[in-house]
């Protein structure tokens, strides 16, 4: 298995959308499909990949906006993984339009995510190379995806380079977010690359040393 990460920066909020693929099998997942789903589809098709799953870190619309389009466009439809609490919270927000774009709700959840769950990229479900860790605080039901073999974690909006996710939105909890980061992010190996939902990458070692929120 030869893994590859592709990052696309899309939309008015400069969302990081990640493709995680097995180059040997051509199977891939997409993490937090955001604005411009047509560009995401174009990239998947250009690379000749088979998108098996959609993984969502949390329930803010800019991180799931493209999920419905991808789900409808591909046959067979990719399975959707999301924490049940994040899905319920997102549905309750009932935001029809934002930034002039209609908000299509995640159509379904096929893989309810939970702490310590193991995920596979391919449709067969093996090998399970990605670990789910719960990081609530920025939004209810937030998770990150940790891939030990790549020494990388897709952190959504829980943590950014020398910063953390906002907690002034509905459902935010500053103290809970700090607790989540210390328990689920800073316990990863220092060399782990942190791939956030917005902005540049960081590392566990860098955040331990330089984050003003985690001193």
Taking only the tens place, the pLDDT of each residue in 21-38 is: 999 999 999 999 999 999
CATH number of 3-210: 3.60.15.10
3-class secondary-structure state, position 87: helix
Q: Rounded to two decimals, what is the model's pTM?
A: 0.95
The answer to whether the CB of 128 falls within 8 A of the CB of 91 is no
125-165 pLDDT, tens digit per residue, is 789 999 999 999 999 999 999 999 999 999 999 999 999 99
Could you tell me the residue ranges of all domains in the chain? 3-210
86-136 pLDDT, tens digit per residue, is 999 999 887 666 666 778 889 889 999 999 999 999 877 789 999 999 999
For the segment 52-69, the average pLDDT, to the nearest whole number, is 96
Report d(CA 121, CA 161) in Å as an integer.
27
Mean of pLDDT over the chain: 95
């Amino acid at each position: 298995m030869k893994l590859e990460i592709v990052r696309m920066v899309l939309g008015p909020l400069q969302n990081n959308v990640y493709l995680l693929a097995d180059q040997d099998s051509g199977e891939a997942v997409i993490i937090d499909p955001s604005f411009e789903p047509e560009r995401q589809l174009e990239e998947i098709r250009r690379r000749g990949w088979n998108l098996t799953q959609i993984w969502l870190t949390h329930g803010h619309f800019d991180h799931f906006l493209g999920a419905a389009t991808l789900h409808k466009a591909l046959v067979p439809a990719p399975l959707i993984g999301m924490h049940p609490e994040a899905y319920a919270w997102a549905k309750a927000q009932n935001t029809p339009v934002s930034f002039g774009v209609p908000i299509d709700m995640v159509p379904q959840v096929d893989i309810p995510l939970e702490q310590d769950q193991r995920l596979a990229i391919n449709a067969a479900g093996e090998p399970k190379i990605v670990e789910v860790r719960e990081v609530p605080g920025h939004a209810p039901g937030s998770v990150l995806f940790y891939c030990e073999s790549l020494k990388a974690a897709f952190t959504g909006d829980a943590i950014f380079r020398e910063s953390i996710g906002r907690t002034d939105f509905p459902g935010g909890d500053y103290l809970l977010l700090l607790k989540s980061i210390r328990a689920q992010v800073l316990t990863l190996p220092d060399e782990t690359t942190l791939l956030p939902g917005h902005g540049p990458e960081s590392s566990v070692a860098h955040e331990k040393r330089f984050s003003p929120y985690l001193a």
